[in-house]
Amino acid sequence: MLVQALGQAMLLGMHIPDGFLSAPVALLWWVLTIAALAVAVQRLRGFDERRVPLMGVMAAFIFAAQMLNFPVLGGTSGHLLGGALAALLPGPWAGMLVMACVIALQALLFQDGGLLALGANVFNMGVATTLAGYGVGMPLIRAAGGRPWGLIVAGFVAAWLSVMLAAFLTSLQLVLSGLSAAVVFPAMLFVHAFIGVGEGLITVAALALVATTRPDLVPALAGSLDARALGRAMSRGAMLTVTFIGLAIAVGLALLSPLASADPDGLERVAEDHGFIERALDPAYNLLPDYTIPGLNGPLSTVLSGVIGLLIVFALAYGIMLLIRGRQESGQETTR
Amino acid sequence: MWHCFQRGLAGSSGERYNTAMALASSLDPYVDRASPVHALDARVKLALTLALVLALALVPAGRWLALATIAALLWWAILRSAVGPGLILRRAFIAAPFALAAMTLAFTRPGAPVVTLSPGPLTITITDAGLVAFVAVILKTWLSVQAALLLMATSRFTEVLGALRSLGLPSMLVAMLGFAYRYLFVLVDEAERLLRARESRAAALPGRRTGGTIAWRAEVLGGMVGTLFLRAYERSERIHAAMLSRGYTGEWRSLPARPLTSGEQGLLITGAALLAAIVWLAHWR
């Protein structure tokens, strides 16, 4: 019930409003964001300054693309966040600035995400998503040597990972600001494991369409793809490979998450929070009886609960996929 | 333009941005009103808004007097702004869904138990410290959104961009933001046309499950996103060519910002000092 309500809230987005982040956390991420954007502006200066109109329109494109959605299950809908797509289409540095503009506009025009929290929001959804999307996506595309499955796997993994990374960073900031790690991490990563699958599918299809129709536009994809083969996107084998790679990365992330949050940042808050996290573990785990791991406490328990949660997510996703496929196949037989 | 597809689209995000866009367009009328707050330089307003939001974040939970003082300062400005206070208070609930996440504070913070609920097999203990933390976060979020709303309802977007430039945002980013704002509504229209086209080709009976697997639906949507990208890209090429033909060289020129008057400087310093004093008193008294 609680996790569901949380899920509904998180589903609406990762835009942290003001009031949630403690001042040191918000300011720390402002510094990180300013540093990343300064590097991006430096990289594009002179070389790409003429392309400012293009990048501005691309920001408007990402914003509009986030409006597009499709029904998933039970009244929820899948839609795009766009970080990985922005990194793979206009390039990583341009994509970073594009995403920063999108998130800043959402905060300024629609109060979607706070002003003090803007640094954290831009970092989570703009900087981290584009760096991860490009850093993971490009090597995979290159490793595939231009074969179409490279684009499919790379697009999916990059998009899924960028969403999970953004969710992880958002959770980390909330936990550092005093929210309970035992609630925030499982809830955020659980919900975004699904959202990431939608992101991955949309990103792959969008990349495939652009690569097929205008491969000249996209430096990352130019000349490395066979347009005909891309028409048959998303075969069953490719999807399975993607699922297993995703699972492996997810488990890795879950293992890292509490360790990263245990990493002292020099913020005295952290120590204080850890005091309460350990004490808070008991009541919080009562809420999530499935995650109760008797005899364990502290980071190890969070790690295990994270891994278990992810395994459950994947089992659920796989089961639902089988169900849908079964229903579809039986439907086809009866109509034949 | 909004009513056309409000009905058919299942999903939170699309509807959310519809309402968000509708909200944004309905903030425009307030920008043209006349009031002391409207007349104030956007740089001062932006700096004071940021200072107020920072001050709210710095007030420890449970210091209600400090929160109330900041709220009084903010509401004094709202009352002088000729933007209806009801409008701002109501619209400030936009961050309400996220407030659910703060609810967990009420029963994860250690402290003296206040209420113990036991729905089914669960036992939830709400503590006093948790309740204080929860209420503080909700109030801070509500007030912060009000401050941002006041800024945007009393300043033109171009003025805010100018203020951001004066605060040191690189001119490349300022120019990008300006472009994004200019073409936002154009591309949202484009996206609406794509959605309407899909809607008109995807008949569905009410209450019935619509066809296709989730993967197929995602593929359709991915195609729409790709199409939108191509249209946006080609539009940006036309814009760029039109700008080149009018002498654009990649450089951005604007009038130099005028220095702040002593009155504006005084307001800025007084406001910042008041907020600093409130935060200081909240911490050490």
Mean pLDDT, rounded, for B186-198: 89
Mutate to test the interface with A, among B12, B100, B176 (most CBs of A within 10 A): B176
CB-CB under 8 Å, B217 with A174: no
Q: Is residue B271 part of a domain?
A: yes
Quick one: pLDDT at residue B117? 74
Quick one: pLDDT at residue A75? 56
Kindly report, residue by residue over A97-155, the tens digit of the pLDDT.
Answer: 999 999 999 898 888 888 999 999 999 999 999 999 999 888 888 887 767 777 888 89
State which residues of chain A have pLDDT below 50: 1-12, 223-235, 258-296, 331-336
Residues of chain A in contact with residue B12, where contact means CB-CB under 8 angstroms, are: 11-12, 76-77
Q: Which of B105, B125, B235 sits opposite A179 (nearest CB)?
A: B105
Q: DSSP secondary-structure letter at B221?
A: H
Mean pLDDT, rounded, for B188-210: 81
Kindly report, residue by residue over B119-136, the tens digit of the pLDDT.
Answer: 666 677 788 888 888 899
Quick one: pLDDT at residue B79? 93
CB-CB under 8 Å, B98 with A68: no
Question: Does one domain contain both B284 and B229?
Answer: no
Question: Does one domain contain both B79 and B181?
Answer: no
Quick one: pLDDT at residue A238? 52
Question: Does one domain contain both B22 and B79?
Answer: yes
Residue A219: which of A277, A137, A153 has the closest Cα? A137
Question: Does one domain contain both B185 and B275?
Answer: no
User: Residue B155, SS3?
Assistant: coil
Kindly report, residue by residue over B10-65, the tens digit of the pLDDT.
Answer: 333 444 445 445 545 567 778 888 898 999 999 999 999 999 999 999 999 889 99
Residues of chain B in contact with residue A184, where contact means CB-CB under 8 angstroms, are: 101, 104
Residues of chain B in contact with residue A192, where contact means CB-CB under 8 angstroms, are: none
Q: Is residue B252 part of a domain?
A: no
| Chain A from 9 to 28: CB within 8 A of any B CB | 9-13, 15-23, 26
Contact present, A275 and B109 (Cβ < 8 Å): no
Quick one: pLDDT at residue B177? 94
Mutate to test the interface with B, among A28, A109, A170 (most CBs of B within 10 A): A109
Whole-number Å distance between alpha carbons of A108 and B147 = 11
Contact present, A56 and A90 (Cβ < 8 Å): no
The number of distinct structural domains making up chain B is 2
Domain that holds residue A74: 18-335
Quick one: pLDDT at residue B41? 93
Q: Is residue A4 part of a domain?
A: no
Q: Is residue B124 part of a domain?
A: no
Question: Does one domain contain both B74 and B15?
Answer: yes
Q: Is residue B279 part of a domain?
A: yes
Q: Is residue A278 part of a domain?
A: yes
The number of distinct structural domains making up chain A is 1
Quick one: pLDDT at residue A250? 62
Average pLDDT of chain B is: 83
Q: Is residue A5 part of a domain?
A: no
Whole-number Å distance between alpha carbons of A264 and B78 = 41
Q: What ipTM did this prediction achieve?
A: 0.86
Question: Does one domain contain both B33 and B16?
Answer: yes
- For residue B24, give how far its alpha carbon lies from the nearest alpha carbon of chain A (Å): 6
Residues of chain A in contact with residue B100, where contact means CB-CB under 8 angstroms, are: 5-6, 8-9
Q: Is residue B82 part of a domain?
A: yes
Mean pLDDT, rounded, for B77-91: 87
Q: Is residue A42 part of a domain?
A: yes
Phi, psi of B168 (to 5 degrees): 105, 10
Question: Does one domain contain both B34 and B165?
Answer: yes
Contact present, A78 and A68 (Cβ < 8 Å): no
State percent of chain B over pLDDT 90. 39
Q: Is residue B253 part of a domain?
A: no
- Residues 6 or more apart whose Cβ sits within 8 Å of residue A202: A78, A79, A80, A159, B218, B221, B222, B225
CB-CB under 8 Å, A109 with B24: yes
Domain that holds residue B187: 170-202+215-245
Residue A239: which of A322, A152, A146, A316 has the closest Cα? A152
Question: Does one domain contain both B161 and B176?
Answer: no
Q: Is residue A55 part of a domain?
A: yes
Question: Does one domain contain both B195 and B81?
Answer: no
Question: Does one domain contain both B63 and B142?
Answer: yes
Question: Does one domain contain both B219 and B147?
Answer: no
Quick one: pLDDT at residue A271? 33
CATH number of the domain that residue A316 is part of: 1.10.1760.20
Strands (E), chain B: 113-117, 124-127
Per residue, the 3-state secondary structure of chain A, as one string, reads CHHHHHHHHHHCCCCCCCCCCCHHHHHHHHHHHHHHHHHHHHHHCCCCHHHHHHHHHHHHHHHHHHHCEEECCCCCEEECCCHHHHHHCCCHHHHHHHHHHHHHHHHHHHCCCCCCCHHHHHHHHHHHHHHHHHHHHHHHHHHCCCCHHHHHHHHHHHHHHHHHHHHHHHHHHHHHCCCCHHHHHHHHHHHHHHHHHHHHHHHHHHHHHHHHHCHHHCCCCCCCCCHHHHCCCCCHHHHHHHHHHHHHHHHHHHHHHHHHHHCCCCCHHHHHHHHHHHHHHHHHHHHCHHHCCCCCCCHHHHHHHHHHHHHHHHHHHHHHHHHHHHHHHHHHHHHC
Quick one: pLDDT at residue A62? 92
Question: Does one domain contain both B42 and B144?
Answer: yes
Radius of gyration of chain A (CA): 20
CB-CB under 8 Å, B53 with A18: yes
Residue B104 pLDDT greater than 70, yes or no: yes
Tokens of B257: 């910002």
Residues of chain A in contact with residue B169, where contact means CB-CB under 8 angstroms, are: none
Residue of A nearest to B210 (CA): A71
Quick one: pLDDT at residue B110? 78
Q: Is residue A6 part of a domain?
A: no
Q: What's the longest Cα–Cα distance across chain A?
A: 68
Kindly report, residue by residue over B123-170, the tens digit of the pLDDT.
Answer: 777 888 888 888 999 999 999 999 999 999 999 999 999 999 998 898
